[in-house]
Amino acid sequence: MIGYVSKVFFHTLAASQSLKRLASRYGMRDDRSFARRFIAGETIEEAIVVVRAIEASGLLHTLDLLGESVHTMAEADAATRAYLATMDRVVAAGVGRGLSLKLTQLGLTIDRATCVDNLRRILDRAGADDFFVRVDMENSSYTQVTLDVFETMWQQGYRNAGIVLQSYLRRTPKDAERMIELGASVRLVKGAYQEPKRIAYQRKSEVDAAFVEIMQLLVGRGTRTAIATHDRVMIDATRRFATSRGVSPDAFEFQMLYGIRRDLQAQLRDAGYRVRVYVPFGREWFPYFMRRLGERPANVTFVIRGLLSEGRS
Ligand SMILES: Cc1cc2nc3c(=O)[nH]c(=O)nc-3n(C[C@H](O)[C@H](O)[C@H](O)COP(=O)(O)OP(=O)(O)OC[C@H]3O[C@@H](n4cnc5c(N)ncnc54)[C@H](O)[C@@H]3O)c2cc1C
């Protein structure tokens, strides 16, 4: 219940323009500013420095150019071109080739056909340069259309892409069955948005039970699965299940967000698992940042500490 209240509170704050202006002024100002705990930087150059360090520590990564819900075709086109430019920089830097993106960033709310065209531009380039593109899952108003767009691309032969499923949605076991049928790679998460009871579990115990059930479905049926969570109980359940079924550690991977549970990332790496860090960067970091605060209100204390020290500097 506290989790739900905190999500509602932080999602409401995320809509505040004045808070966004205040945070934007201080959050990324220098290397010690508070938003840098979760955001790799505002530019691709800063993000590349971060992913080099991640690679040096034996971890994998996926880059997310932050931005969501653009409102014009021009903005959707600009976001698409920004992704293409990011790919240029990644290739030139010689770092790992993984991207995560949101369909609303590519124009899904304006016009589905435009969004599909933009996604195709990115996937064509991804195919040519051996990138893997993960389509993030947004709030439930986009679940079906995101799955539909993903499946359209899949049926057209784009295999260098994967999808995300959220265990808090009651519909997800059925969607997981469909992705298993297709043979598509799935990232399993609990779900980051505030959703109504009718369609989504509200209690942590229910979301967790669904997570384990869907993990077993995906890993047990040989899907290329990314278990994306910082929850040790979910991680241990996955390890036990894989061992009991004789699934080799390189048949799936764990994923965590940049700046969260680095200790656990290192432990899993040392135990021989593939661990991928989701690395967000870009100027539009505020909504992402607020979702991270909503997941763990204790994070607010370091923001307040950061703001107070900014005020003194
Ligand atoms: C790689 C990756 C990609 C994701 N992609 C999507 C997506 O496409 N769509 C989507 O809806 N959601 C996505 N998420 C977010 C996800 O849905 C959850 O909101 C988020 O991971 C928190 O849930 P949890 O599984 O870590 O478990 P929780 O039960 O929330 O947390 C378990 C433990 O993890 C730690 N923890 C969790 N969150 C934080 C935090 N913000 N700060 C500090 N510690 C924390 C704490 O120790 C906590 O006790 C993604 C998550 C990851 C890791």
Residues with CB under 6 A from ligand 1: 136-137, 164, 166, 189-193, 228-231, 255-257, 260-261, 278, 292, 295-296, 299
Convert 215-263 into a string of H (helix), E (strand) and C (coil).
HHHHHHCCCCEEEECCCHHHHHHHHHHHHHHCCCHHHEEEEEECCCCHH
Q: Which of 121, 28, 32, 114 is nearest to 66 (CA)?
A: 28
Return the percentage of the chain with pLDDT > 70, whole number: 92
Is the pLDDT score of 108 beyond 90? yes
| pLDDT class of 302 with cuts at 50, 70, 90 | low
Q: What are the tens digits of pLDDT across the range 180-212?
A: 999 999 999 999 999 999 999 999 999 999 999
Q: What are the tens digits of pLDDT across the range 228-255?
A: 999 999 999 999 999 999 999 999 999 9
Whole-angstrom Cα distance, residue 251 to residue 280?
Answer: 25
Tell me, yes or no, if 117 is annotated catalytic: no
| pLDDT class of 313 with cuts at 50, 70, 90 | very low
Q: Please pick, among 97, 125, 134, 187, the residue that the annotation labels catalytic.
A: 187
Nearest-CA residue for ligand 1 atom 25 is 229
Q: Please pick, among 64, 125, 136, 175, the residue that the annotation labels catalytic.
A: 136
Tell me, yes or no, if 130 is annotated catalytic: no
Cα(229) to centroid(ligand 1), Å = 5
Predicted confidence at residue 220, as pLDDT, reads 97
- In this structure, is the dihedral angle defined by the CA atoms of residues 53, 57, 63 and 64, taken in order, positive or negative? negative
Cα(312) to centroid(ligand 1), Å = 32
CA 45 to each of CA 6, 8, 143: distance values in angstroms, whole numbers, following the listed order: 34, 34, 32
Phi, psi of 228 (to 5 degrees): -105, 95
Q: What are the tens digits of pLDDT across the range 65-77?
A: 998 779 999 999 9
Predicted confidence at residue 31, as pLDDT, reads 82
**CA distance between the termini of the chain:** 38
- In this structure, is the dihedral angle defined by the CA atoms of residues 264, 54, 186 and 204, taken in order, positive or negative? positive
Give the position, in ligand 1's atom list, of the atom nearest the Cα of 255: 1
Q: Which of 149, 117, 33, 40 is nearest to 86 (CA)?
A: 40
Whole-angstrom Cα distance, residue 3 to residue 295?
Answer: 7
Cα(255) to centroid(ligand 1), Å = 10
Please give the residue that has the higher pLDDT: either 149 or 2: 149
Cα(166) to centroid(ligand 1), Å = 11
Whole-angstrom Cα distance, residue 147 to residue 124?
Answer: 19
- In this structure, which long-range contacts are made by residues 154-159, counting pairs with CB atoms below 8 Å and at least 24 apart in sequence? 154/182, 154/184, 158/120, 158/123, 158/127
Name 32's Cβ contacts closer than 8 Å, sequence gap at least 6.
306, 309
Q: Which of 278, 219, 277 is nearest to 250 (CA)?
A: 219
